[in-house]
Chain A
Amino acid sequence: MKTLTRQDLAALAKQQASSPAEWIRVQLDTGGIAAGADSVRTALEHARVEQKRPFSLLRVGSVGYSFADPVIEVQSAGLPRILYGRMTPELVPALLSEQFDGGRLLEDHTIATRKRSLTIDAPVTHILVRDTSSDIGNKTAFFQSSFQEELKRRGLEHVQVVRALDMGIYDEGAVVQLLPSPVTYTNVLAPDVARIVAESVEANRVIDDLIWKAPDKQTRIVLRHSGQVDPDSVDDYLQRADGYQAFAKSLFELSPEGVLAEMKSSALRGRGGAGFPTWMKWKLTRDQPAEQRYIICNADEGDPGAFMDRSVLESDPHAVLEGMMIAAYSMGASQGYFYIRAEYPRAIERVQRAIDQNRELGLLGRDILGSGFDFDAKIRLGAGAFVCGEETALIASIEGKRGTPSPRPPYPSVRGLWGLPTAINNVETLAIVPAILLKGGEWYAGHGTDTSKGTKVFAVTGKVRNAQLVEVPMGTTLREIVYEVCGGVLDGKEVKAVQTGGPSGGVIPEKLLNTHISYESLQELGSIMGSGGMLVMDQGDSMLDVARFYLRFCVDESCGKCAPCRIGGYQLMQILDRISRGRGKADDLPLIDRICHAMQKASLCGLGQTAPNPVISTIRYFGEEYQAYIEGGPSYARKIKRAAVDAATAAPSTAPVSS
């Protein structure tokens, strides 16, 4: 590969990206591969060679629809891009013959696009239908046949009616989406079928009283390339994603001060959880007189139930690397480290490949693009210690020691890795940086609330209908995320609480779901933003159990260096265990309170300070559950336990129904 020059990059910026006319993109991230994306890809490759089909088979990262893994996206002549979920190798022959030969879509696997149109610009060729009201007594098939009959009556048999897998709209009755202009109608009733066919299909007119006008709640900035570019190819990133243009702009048009000014106007705050202004962290590191400075990308995503960082690294490693290079330039760092969990082999592989490709292209190394800026990046592996997400512990781990935190100050921006100034940024933070420099800080600050700008990625999991990655502007309410984006709770149950921030966060009860998300608002509720895990719990989940789960996690992960965390956590655990056996005492709750406060005040690092959060917040909002255990005694505890076992055996199916 030949070395890239400044002129090459400038030429790439002007060049229109050329894509093949027909392609299939297979989303190969860890989740997708676990669900069988590899075998789908192999089947597609075989079929392509055997049937001599002209489409290109591309690999991309995930768009984040974990509920529908494995997901593929298909572009065929005369059709818009179609996403298919829950693919299997057996479906491949049908897919190819239906879509590429017949221009028809697969039943039950199509995922409707979220980019909904308000006008019909082209004759309707396909109609997607799905009854979103509930999974029981589903009327999707009825609507499909009604549409088919109506179309037949009017001689429009060429329009295909397809049962969709997911519409992106929930609890709005029957939802209908027309293609190729994705006009979407909701709460469609049987009499509306004839109207839709007459007005929209025949006359291309929009029906105003049915159309769904609400724009998509999601704004994709961090996930802008996820599922769009090949994570293994720097060429794809350069040609189709404005790759390294932001870096070139920083080098040649902006000074390091210019980059900092742009970051300041974007008001981006660290996405790792604490929310420290990113530009300030960089400036503090820059202002420290030193021969050598370091930048570290913290990808030690240890929260159970969170997979945002993994998904970003697997889908768009070059964006994170570019963000790191820009950060390094702005603060004068010449060496960067990716600290990645060893449990994420695919992310490690893709980041390593991105680094290797950049070294070959001369984007890493000495005198990059002839600018005189030197920078190189390396990977360091984590080894399964949650506390290493804490920055001083992370630094100790990179130095090859036990990952025990040390007191701050001095902060890492003053004395960090090997005693030199170091900036540590989260994966998500760095992935945003190139977008900010390309589109401007003002543009970024246009999203979000007054104090928390921009967007945030959440991994919504638990008892939610569609577990997935969600990127929403700050200020979106929790209710919107859980109900409108992810479709509410499984089996039509009610949300009891939402847990944010993993083991360091707290629970937010259903009555407070209308809270607008920002760093401050979540803190007021006794939770934290955290890195973005969001766990939905339904009425059947015991809060005491959840608090014990998180506390046990923190007790296991405590490094044992400071007493409040080591001893306090263990004692707290003993008390909670006792309560859950129905052996609690009347003065247990005040005792828990005292231990929690001691831990928050006296622990050395974030792990110990935040470990009591799940306990405090569950007591705050669900204190009556604790009280019931204490007053009810062992017989009550046994009753609850038996009820939970009964519920589990009565409803063994936890898999979402796909009809």
Chain B
Amino acid sequence: MSRPFPILSRLLHWTMALLILAMLFIGVAMVSSLSDYHRLVAIHRPLGILLLVLVAVRLINRLLSPPPPLPAAMPAVLRLAAQASHWLLYALMFAVPVVGWAMLSAAGYPIQLVGAVYLPPILPHDRALYAVLRPAHTVLAFLLFATFLAHLGAALTHALVFKDGVFRSMVK
């Protein structure tokens, strides 16, 4: 049976899992709400930047302490799906907040985190950039949600159907 993930890896995983799921729900609630829009945006912005910091820490941690190997018996196609979906998750965990920051920059908004703490723009104020980045933020977030659902389904399949220790290595 494979060894468990190191404690720091598990902590980062479950913290980010909760925050990302909350963030995706806040995002769709926010853009469809007139009454709570402002309140939710005020949470969405700093939480997104926190997630960007966390995924950077997580990538470094992953490179320093690599995840346990997948079971030797796992077929090549499942192995490939597992590896590809993990790199897709990482790519999206970076891309969604970076595109969010970039689109606010291109829109010319001041980028407030909390109180008097603001982020600098990372792009010039430019309508054409905003017109591309704003829908891109939504599309990437939906892709992240779809990838999360696939990841959840796969994790539960490892836990309940394959019973191969892969799920346990993250909960141990």
Do A and B come together as binding partners? no
A interface residues, Cβ below 8 angstroms from B: none
